[in-house]
Structure formats: structure tokens, C-alpha cells
Structure 1
């Protein structure tokens, strides 16, 4: 089997695994939201202080960023035919995703450090 045959398999698997994790996280967050005694700032801030919750939110953000990158990359590669425009759009997308990821991890770090 040629390596070119498996070229699209890795993004496909990452897309599916990240989608499953995103759904599981949304179910977990929904359960935590509806089972909370008090829906206010302090209880949710304390929810983030829990290392388990901070970890699952961090993994959720990574999964969301990978999922968004693969999906948008495939759309751009399929529908933008001008090479220079394609490179520009992909570079902008990478910048937005990296910036968003760093911003979220800054927020998570500040929630843990206090």
C-alpha cells in the first residue's frame, strides 16, 4: 500500500476523534451546568480551579482547534484555486487559531494560578 493512499487518513481520524471528544465534553459541561446548586461567577470560577476540569477544558480547546484547522483547511484547499490567495487564507487561519489557542490557555493558566 502506497503512502499516498494513507495521506488523507490521518486528518480524517483526527477530525473524527476530536468530534467525539467535543461531544463528550459538551455533555459533561452541560451536566455540570444543570447539576450545579448555584449558577453564579464564584461557583464556576471554583469549577475551573479543579485540576480535572482545567485539564478537560484544555484538551477540549486543543480538540476544537485541530477540528477547526482540518475542516477549514479542507474547505480552502477544495474551493480556493488561486495559490497565492490559498496561502494567504491558510496563513491567516493559522494565525487566528494560534492566537485563539494562546488566549484561551492564558485564561486557563490564570484561572489555575489565581
Structure 2
């Protein structure tokens, strides 16, 4: 991919992820406004629904992709020293990687272990 096309790809990623995140947040707000869970078990049962669980699993990487494009663009635009920019991009990348792994552990592994023990 050429350097000129990378801006178009970043723009597309930012817009597509923003639409998904906005729709999902709207759905969550409306759902919890009109049908709040009475307790933790009811919330877990709702999250265990296939559509909701798939939406949540997609939420994490799409949120991280959206945030990465935003951080990357800000750093590319405003940090002029290449060495500082590379270090900052690496720190943000490691932070997002750690956040993604933590979210994966919290969503998927916790659900699997709860299913085994419960």
C-alpha cells in the first residue's frame, strides 16, 4: 500500500469503528434504560446471549483500533522528532496490547472458567 493510501485506510478504519461503537453504545444505553438487570446473575445471563457476547467480543478490538488510529494520527501530526515519536508509538502500542489481552482475559477466559465451575 502506498503512503498516500494509508491515510485513506486510517480514515476508513476510524469511521467504520466509530459507527459500530456508537451503535453498540446506543443499544446498551437503551437496553439498560428500559430493562436494567435486577442482579448480577441477570446481567450475566444477558451477556451470555449469543448476539450480546459476540458484540462485546468485537467491541474490544474495534475500540482499540479506533483509539490506535486517533493516537497515531495525533502523534504523527504533533511530535516532530522521529525518535520521540517512535518511542511514544511503541508505548501506546504496548499499552493497547496489554489492554486487549486484559479484556480478552476478563471476557473470554472468565466466562469459560465460570462455565466450568458453575
TM-score when normalising by structure 1: 0.89
Q: Distance in 1 between matches of 2:58 and 2:18?
A: 12
| Larger helix proportion of the pair | 2
Is it true that 1:38 corresponds to 2:37 in the alignment?
Answer: yes
Equivalent-residue separation in structure 1 for 2:37 and 2:5 (angstroms): 50
Aligned to 1:25: 24
Q: TM-score, normalised on structure 2?
A: 0.86
Contact 1:62/1:101 (8 A) holds in 2: yes
Distance 1:7 1:86 in 2: 18
Deviation at 1:23, TM superposition (A): 0.3
User: What's the Cα RMSD here?
Assistant: 1.8
Question: Where does structure 1 lack aligned partners over 5 or more consecutive residues?
Answer: none
SS in 2 for 1:38: coil
Aligned length: 113
User: Gaps (5+ residues) in structure 2?
Assistant: none
